[in-house]
Chains A and B, each alone.
Chain A
Amino acid sequence: MTQASRVKKLTDSVSHIEVSPPRLQWMGHSRQWGTRVKKGEHGLRLGDLNVGIYGEIPQHWEDQSRRPRGAADLPGMPPLPYHLRSKHQLWADSAADLYEEAIQHRWIPATDIPWSELSPLPDDVERAMCQVLTELMQAANAELESITYWQEQMSYGYHEVKQFLAVAALTCARHIDAFRKRCLANGGGLGLESRGRMNRAILESRGGWTEAVVYIYLLRGFHVQNQYRLLLAHAHNAAEREIFANCLADHSRHMSYALDHLKYAITQQASQAAIIQTLLSLGESTLARDIQEPVQRSALAIVFGGGVEGGRQEGMATWRAMVRQSIHDYLDACEWLGIKRNMIQRRLNALLPPDEQLVPTERG
């Protein structure tokens, strides 16, 4: 029997069965139909879709399901542990644009970095560079783990932020990847594990995503940003230059989200500024102890000074200037956010030149 005759025999055998026409009732379930968003000059971007009900971003999102914002709800869906359901806990107006920027600013460490441009460095410089990158890998890893911990708890009502942070986590993974490759591609290897007090503070922060943002970005972010700036300026070859230029742009994008979010949170929540002040008072001495850690400090000085010898004077002077700049950037950001720090923790204050020191608090 051929295949065709087999099918005919089967069809004939069920021809007496009456099949009801499909009801397709689900087709009537849309909260807003007929939407036609047009692409703009720069394509059809995530933020462009916020039209009609799809652009209604509530202050609080009661729904604990995975229902996309604007979709019709299905009664009886069991709740999921989305604990961050208020806009002030995560929102930044720039999130949709930053998401678009992040997915377009893509670079592949395996192929976009001109690895063949690496050349042997003096042993002390290679060891110092690998040590610096080992610690930066740990910082990027703490950022990644903190983002993913909180991102999965964020309500689907704020998908712009969830999507931006998903890419931010990928970006952190990319940095870890690039640093590891740089360490293992030029005759060196990984260095010593960091004590990572700030990493621990970030990972153990459980008060909410805003608290994590305060630690990762407002408090430590400028120190990381300035390390990238200086490593870019002291790059030994085109490969390092490309790595640090990309990391600087990526990290600055994360900082943009963070500052925008903190500004929003402070504007929306009367007590938020005071809470951030408290968090900073707790965190500043931890950051200062990390900055003063002799391993990373000397490794950075050797890179900036071009060797152990140059690291003693020139390298340490550059390191001190970098730390000064980081603290000033941090204080400027606090002021911009409206949480001016009139007093800072003693350890952090001591890292500023004497004539620039603020009134230190007793603790720290």
Chain B
Amino acid sequence: MPTFPSVDWFNAVRERYNTDQTLHSGGGGPCEAKAALCIGDSVYLLEFEGFECAEILEIDRDDIDQADFFLEMPMPEWIDMINNIRENGAADLDHTLSTIDLELEDGLPRAPGDDQYRRDLFYRYNQNFQDFFDASAGIATTIGRVD
């Protein structure tokens, strides 16, 4: 059972997202973006190509400018989001990336170098990213340490 967060866990989600077309909501469309997720001390780079998540890498924080944008939240909030998805089959309205973004004073996505064009990819492909996280609903998960 993969542990969240880990490359194994993200690869399990990736496998499900890439192979189950029912997880791609209406109008999802293709996505060309690299998103970094800062979870605890780890940074995961998710590369989306077309209708798939092509690759997951764990990268150093110093290499974050490889990403178009990055999402950073305290570990308990990531876990709350993942647990909510597992309980409901998909994020409820209080736990979507969009809602979390709105609840943070400065928003959720940041772009290296404050590049507005790259940051806006988060909104352009919001459905794809949400579909990806919702794909974790079917993944048996062990939650890692919160500290």
Measured CA separation A269–B63 after assembly (Å): 34
Q: Do A105 and B30 contact each other (CB < 8 Å), given the known contacts A256-B124, A336-B114?
A: yes
- Using an 8 Å CB-CB cutoff, how does the interface string of A222-235 with B read, 1 for contact, 0 for none? 00010001101111
Measured CA separation A260–B126 after assembly (Å): 20
- Please determine whether B29 and A105 come into contact, CB atoms closer than 8 angstroms: yes
Measured CA separation A230–B107 after assembly (Å): 12
Docked complex: A252-303 residues within 8 A CB-CB of B? 252-253, 255-256, 259-260, 263
Measured CA separation A235–B102 after assembly (Å): 14
Measured CA separation A101–B31 after assembly (Å): 8
Interfacial chain B residues near A256, Cβ < 8 Å: 117, 120-121, 124
Measured CA separation A332–B79 after assembly (Å): 31
Stretch at the interface among A56-64, A83-91, A179-187, A240-248: A240-248
Measured CA separation A333–B98 after assembly (Å): 20
- Please determine whether A97 and B25 come into contact, CB atoms closer than 8 angstroms: no
A177 at the interface (CB under 8 A from B): no
A363 at the interface (CB under 8 A from B): no
- Please determine whether B116 and A259 come into contact, CB atoms closer than 8 angstroms: yes
Q: Do A248 and B123 contact each other (CB < 8 Å), given the known contacts A230-B102, A232-B98, A241-B93?
A: yes
Q: Do A229 and B120 contact each other (CB < 8 Å), given the known contacts A245-B126, A249-B125?
A: no
Measured CA separation A110–B144 after assembly (Å): 44
Partner of B123, one of A100, A225, A235, A260: A225
Q: Do A42 and B124 contact each other (CB < 8 Å), given the known contacts A230-B102, A233-B99, A333-B116?
A: no
| Minimum CB distance partner of A333 in chain B | B116
Interfacial chain B residues near A97, Cβ < 8 Å: 32
| Minimum CB distance partner of A102 in chain B | B29
Cβ distance A66 to chain B, nearest Cβ, rounded Å: 30
Measured CA separation A256–B101 after assembly (Å): 19
Cβ distance B80 to chain A, nearest Cβ, rounded Å: 16
Measured CA separation A65–B123 after assembly (Å): 38
Interfacial chain B residues near A259, Cβ < 8 Å: 116-117, 120
- Please determine whether A332 and B98 come into contact, CB atoms closer than 8 angstroms: no
Measured CA separation A245–B123 after assembly (Å): 9
A107 at the interface (CB under 8 A from B): yes
Most chain B Cβ neighbours within 10 Å, of A241, A252, A333: A252
A163 at the interface (CB under 8 A from B): no
- Please determine whether A106 and B116 come into contact, CB atoms closer than 8 angstroms: no
A35 at the interface (CB under 8 A from B): no
- Please determine whether A105 and B27 come into contact, CB atoms closer than 8 angstroms: yes
A148 at the interface (CB under 8 A from B): no
| Minimum CB distance partner of A337 in chain B | B116
Most chain B Cβ neighbours within 10 Å, of A107, A225, A333: A107
- Please determine whether B117 and A260 come into contact, CB atoms closer than 8 angstroms: yes
Measured CA separation A249–B115 after assembly (Å): 18
Cβ distance A24 to chain B, nearest Cβ, rounded Å: 42
Partner of A245, one of B32, B107, B121, B127: B127
Measured CA separation A130–B107 after assembly (Å): 28
- Please determine whether A233 and B102 come into contact, CB atoms closer than 8 angstroms: yes
Partner of B127, one of A42, A106, A246: A246
B96 at the interface (CB under 8 A from A): yes
- Please determine whether B50 and A41 come into contact, CB atoms closer than 8 angstroms: yes
Docked complex: B48-105 residues within 8 A CB-CB of A? 49-50, 93, 96, 98-99, 101-102
Docked complex: A195-248 residues within 8 A CB-CB of B? 225, 229-230, 232-235, 241-242, 245-246, 248
Cβ distance B76 to chain A, nearest Cβ, rounded Å: 21
Residue positions of A touching B, CB distance < 8 A: 41-42, 97, 100-101, 104-107, 112-113, 225, 229-230, 232-235, 241-242, 245-246, 248-249, 252-253, 255-256, 259-260, 263, 325, 332-333, 336
> Can you give 28 A-B contacts (C-beta < 8 A)?
A41-B49, A42-B49, A97-B32, A106-B27, A107-B27, A113-B26, A225-B123, A232-B96, A233-B98, A233-B99, A242-B27, A245-B98, A245-B127, A245-B130, A246-B27, A246-B127, A248-B123, A249-B29, A249-B127, A252-B120, A252-B124, A255-B120, A256-B120, A256-B121, A259-B116, A259-B117, A259-B120, A332-B114
